[in-house]
Structure 1
């Protein structure tokens, strides 16, 4: 069953403006080390890379129904790649605690993430699925 759905549209130029104005202070406040490393390896599309991740954080906060309140912080939500290469989320702190709180007993949460960009826009959608423990799905 679906227990959360969220999406976000982020302006890449807005992220570039934040990078220009605040530099590493902005990056360190919002993004995980892994996210910053990935963006650094893409100097020509750094702002787009970070904008997609920013949108993913926003989409997750909407999917769990809190926004960035109740202990859910941007750095607790990290975009990582599964072994197949598909993007997914690594959750820590309040973001993980909120996911645990909304997951029904007897279920495990599975987070689905999709990202795309087409300058000047970056988009992310998060769907959280509760899968019954021992179920076939």
Structure 2
């Protein structure tokens, strides 16, 4: 069962201008400390991460400004080095609310960039079974 999906497409050139103008203020409002370090303020990396947040918020049905704050959605690496959407606070609550009772939910994602565009998709899947804890973003 797929209780939600979303996608987003961003112009990397727009992110370049945003980073030039509001670099510290913008990145601190949107990204976790780990993400700020890993992206190294590269516009393409930041744009992909932001597109994934937008796609995730659409899949959750929350929108960017409703139940889930931007920093409550992060990009984490699993032990296999595969990137995964990591949720905190309202993001975890929203993911649990989207899935039917007795189903385990997960967010599958894909993102890519090909200058001047960055694209991301997020699909929430629900399967019968106990709900495991979703990946959590490293807030350090």
TM-score normalised over the length of structure 2: 0.88
Cα offset, 1:13, TM superposition: 1.1
2:104 corresponds to = 108
Deviations 1:64-107 (A, max 9, x none): 11212332111100011222222211101111111111111111
Runs of 4+ in structure 1 over 4 Å off: none
- The SS at the match of 2:16 is helix
> How many Å separate the matches in 1 of 2:91 and 2:102?
20
**Which sections of structure 2, spanning at least 5 residues, go unmatched?**
131-140
Q: Are the equivalent residues in 2 in contact too, given 1:73–1:94 (CA < 8 A)?
A: yes
Q: Are the equivalent residues in 2 in contact too, given 1:9–1:122 (CA < 8 A)?
A: yes
Q: State how many pairs are aligned.
A: 130
> How many Å separate the matches in 2 of 1:5 and 1:107?
17
Q: Work out whether 1:127 is the aligned partner of 2:137.
A: no
**Which sections of structure 1, spanning at least 5 residues, go unmatched?**
none
1:8 corresponds to = 8
> How many Å separate the matches in 2 of 1:18 and 1:69?
19
